[in-house]
Amino acid sequence: MGLNRRSVLRGASLMAGFAALPFELRQAMAQDASARPFSYEALIARAQAAAGEAYKPAYQPRPDVVQKLDYEAWGKILFKTDRAPFSGQPGVQEPAGYPLEFFHLGQYFTKRVKMNLVLDGKSVEVPYDPNLFDMPADSPARQLPPDSGFAGFRFQEWHTSEDWRHQDWIAFLGASYFRAIGAAGQYGLSARGIVVNAALADKPEEFPDFTEFYIEEQSDPEAPVTVCALLDGPSVTGAYRFRIRRGLDRTKGIVMEIESQIFLRQDIERLGLMPMTSMFWYSEYGRDRMRDWRPEVHDSDGLEIWTGTGERLWRPLNNPTTIKVSSFLDENPHGFGLLQRDRNFDHYQDGVFYDRRPCLWIEPLEPLGRGSVQLLEIPTEDEIHDNIGAFWVPEGKAAKGNSYRLHYKLHWLNTEPYPAENIAQTVATRMGYGGEPGKTRPENQYRIAVEFDRPSVMTQIPYGVFPKVNVTTSAGRIIRTLAEPVPNGNVWRALFDVEITPDLFTELRLFLELDGKPLTETWTYQFSRDLEVFNE
């Protein structure tokens, strides 16, 4: 999971208008017979009907040519910003809003995705035209046929913003992937429309595609932008409606309200709903932290779950030596997300600003019922691969003919949108060998230190009082525990030694408590010797 990134109008007057740009969009649509009524409900009906039909792969024009558009060649193909719909540029005056730019096909984005604009309840397809792009004279893209289509799209900042020509804030590109910048103005992890059979030993993962987009007109920067999408894959179809709120105050991040209807063509062994995907190479712990000069490299450092019972769980991420899937059973969780809690630049020392990467939080707007939040961790030896996935798996068999209705929000922020006010959060996880300094280190004993911080909680601990370390292990045994304040700060550290044989792994759970009440969220971790820094 996550290692993969990614008719023509018959009305001559509108074809010429789009191809040439400038044009007046609403007038052109009113005059063109190919403009059709559009509604999200009709898109749902199309997805449901398609689920009863055989899958037809998306059109891939001239694969021999598209494969020549590698990362370097593709990066030289740039959409001409002055031709962006909704940009308010001369000749593109109506309507104006968040300018819309399209991505070209390339080696990693080989399938045509149809782009449609929706105004006054009618939709019309935007035909591909190479003249919409700046590209080198010798670019292989010039050999593509006229029906090639686009790979995806992105929105620029509001058309009156000074930086709109070079600052985008959301992008849909490749399979069912999409991503947005957070409150710090930086891209990082991605979301997906769906996950089908990720990390199974006996079958490959499927990557269904958003095959059509319907992008509605805009008039108010504070109102949500509405985008509908049609999903299609060998085992699944679906319809999605995104209401995406940006606003002129960029410090508020981006919030998406999403509705979707999903229909299964075939049985699916692992159906992942509301999925997100990220990158974790190493942190202040991890097996690869001596392979690179930077102290930490990751887009996200942990999974947080707000369970249906109200418990807050924090799971630090791993870069394992083999694929790992962890399942957190729950009923009607309040939310979950992959977060980047460490916001200290000195902990990364990298100009790509890992300290600014957004957190992504999922908030169900309708009860999910019983199921599990599943965390997928894949080995990686570089930062270029998304090796982390998190998604909801509903209880019961995902059988052919099943349908699923979802209504949820995605929050792209600097932190989770609903932090617990009365408990402290995990801010660091550290690991090493156990035992005592100056003595022979016992075999198979490992020390883990977990640090918690929230001034409103931790500063209320009376001087001379030490919280209890409540820690359990599913295998092996806990040898000793200790709680101590970290000097020069509000942080408290919980330490413990765990004894475990090299051939075992254990699920660890820990929190600090005082007078029988939890002071912190519950830290959870899947520990084994081969996962961490103990490889010889």
- Amino acid 7: pLDDT: 25
Integer-rounded Cα radius of gyration of the chain: 25
More confident residue, 11 or 408: 408
Cβ pair 506, 513 in contact under 8 A: no
- pLDDT at position 33 is 63
List the beta bridge partners of residue 128. Answer: none
* Amino acid 91: pLDDT: 61
- CA–CA separation, 80 and 152 (whole Å): 15
Closest CA to 322 of 528, 525, 499, 500: 528
**pLDDT at residue 349 is higher than 80:** yes
What pLDDT is stored for residue 440 in this prediction? Answer: 82
pLDDT at 17 exceeding the cut of 50: no
pLDDT tens across 158-172, in order?
Answer: 999 999 999 999 999
Residue 523 sits at the vertex; the CA angle it makes with 522 and 525, to the nearest 5 degrees, is 135
Mean pLDDT over residues 231-235, rounded?
A: 98
pLDDT at 95: 79
CA distance 312 to 300: 18
Identify the band that residue 6 occupies on the pLDDT scale cut at 50, 70 and 90.
Answer: very low
**Averaged pLDDT for residues 121-149:** 94
At residue 25, the pLDDT reads: 59
Confidence of residue 2 (pLDDT cuts 50, 70, 90): very low
Question: Cα 446 to the chain's mean position, in Å?
Answer: 33
Give the pLDDT score at 194: 98
Q: Give the C-alpha separation, 63 to 74, whole Å.
A: 14
Pairing between strand 312-316 and 522-528? parallel
Least confident of 14-28, 122-136, 266-280, 393-407: 14-28
More confident residue, 78 or 487: 78
Coil, strand, or helix at residue 491?
A: coil
Give the pTM. 0.92
Location of each CATH 2.60.40.10 domain in the chain = 425-531
Mean pLDDT, rounded, for 350-357: 96
Mean pLDDT of 225-253: 97
Six-digit token string for 375: 């965390």
Chain centre to alpha carbon of residue 283: 19
Of the candidate ranges 82-96, 266-280, 480-494, the one whose mean pLDDT is the lowest: 82-96
CA distance 401 to 57: 20
Helix (H) or strand (E) holding 122: strand 122-125
Residue 78 above 60 pLDDT?
yes
pLDDT of residue 437: 79
Q: How far is CA 120 from CA 215, 243, 365, in A?
A: 12, 17, 28
pLDDT in tens, 180-223: 999 999 999 999 999 999 999 999 999 999 999 999 999 899 99
Dump pLDDT digits (tens) for 436-463. Answer: 877 888 888 999 999 999 888 888 888 8
> Regarding the domain delimited by 425-531, which CATH topology (the fold level of the hierarchy) does it fall under?
Immunoglobulin-like (2.60.40)
Does 177 or 11 have the greater pLDDT score? 177
Rounded CA gap, 138 and 457, in Å? Answer: 63
**pLDDT tens readout for residues 39-67:** 999 999 999 999 999 999 999 999 999 99
Mean pLDDT of the chain: 90
What is the mean predicted confidence (pLDDT) over 510-520?
95
Paired tokens of 523? 């830290």
CA distance linking residue 19 with residue 83, whole number of Å: 9
Is pLDDT of 23 > 60?
A: no
What residues form DSSP beta bridges with 493? 451, 484
What pLDDT is attached to residue 173? 98
Give the pLDDT confidence score for residue 436 in this predicted structure: 82
Q: Smallest Cα–Cα separation from 133: which of 157, 147, 150, 145?
A: 150
Query: Cα–Cα distance between 380 and 322 in angstroms, integer?
Result: 10
User: Percentage of residues in the chain with pLDDT exceeding 90?
Assistant: 79
Pick the more confident residue, 400 or 284: 400
Helix residue ranges per DSSP H, 110-231 = none
The residues of the chain that CATH labels 2.70.98.10 are 12-413
Q: Residue 442, preceding bond cis, omega within 30 degrees?
A: no
- Architecture of the domain whose range is 12-413: Distorted Sandwich (2.70)
Question: When comparing pLDDT for 529 and 270, which is higher?
Answer: 270
Q: Which of residues 501 and 158 earns the better pLDDT score?
A: 158
User: CA 373 → CA 257, 368, 370, distances in Å?
Assistant: 20, 11, 10
Q: Does residue 533 register a pLDDT over 80?
A: no
Any idea what DSSP says for residue 202?
Answer: S
